[in-house]
Chain A
């Protein structure tokens, strides 16, 4: 019987096989599409290693006639603004992700407990934030006028800390994977809730914690909106925001570079391979994500399927 079913499902059964032409079509379509996904990045990489005068003459191209690593040389030699921006991005991402993971888990655990009478209310308390918000203006005024957080790193971290969606995902994970019997017996043994949470719940929840951490890392690293709204002075400029600023005004990089200001102070005009530098900066900015992302993807898929958020 088993063998029969296996036979039914194997490719040898003509009913279950696509025509050769269709298979070929699917394969070639995916090859083309995958190619389309990476080609813009390849173009930017090629521009970043193109000689500046070649760009001016031929424009951006996939295979420049003259290669040059001047852009990277410039960035590494006079890297103050890039290093500063990188530092801000790394601090915000690391601190934000760690804090957010622990705060989300600490909130999700009580609302996952069926015996906690207020679980429903506090679930709604977080769910409601997904449905309604006060809009940009009041939100901005709370951070700037009430908390006085303008131009601080706290303003780049705090707004993303409690992501309602992940609170609900984490809660569902706790509900479905941690057996109530374990919690009960720990309770009978006299363990406090905090102890149960750190010693039993967290070690059992690594998959969902990893998912939350990776999503939050991505959210913090890729964020530029909070900088756009809250950062008006020099300092605390993240790498994404630096890229945005440079996109609008290519001179932004040179006004921030010490070498450039020294030269302009001496009365000279500072020249640098601005076109390729700009693209090189993008490559440096997406670097960490590109390397981390195949690993990310595994948890993304897991996280997305970790459980319905319904309820």
Chain B
């Protein structure tokens, strides 16, 4: 039974790793696009 706790924590950890990784890609792309649109507006 105690050994099964490892599977429990693995499942919860993997869940949050997937969600946080996806959120991180959104944040990173958003920051890059904000910079890009700022540069485009400066160049006009």
Partners in one complex: no
User: Which residues of A come within 8 Å of B, CB atoms?
Assistant: none
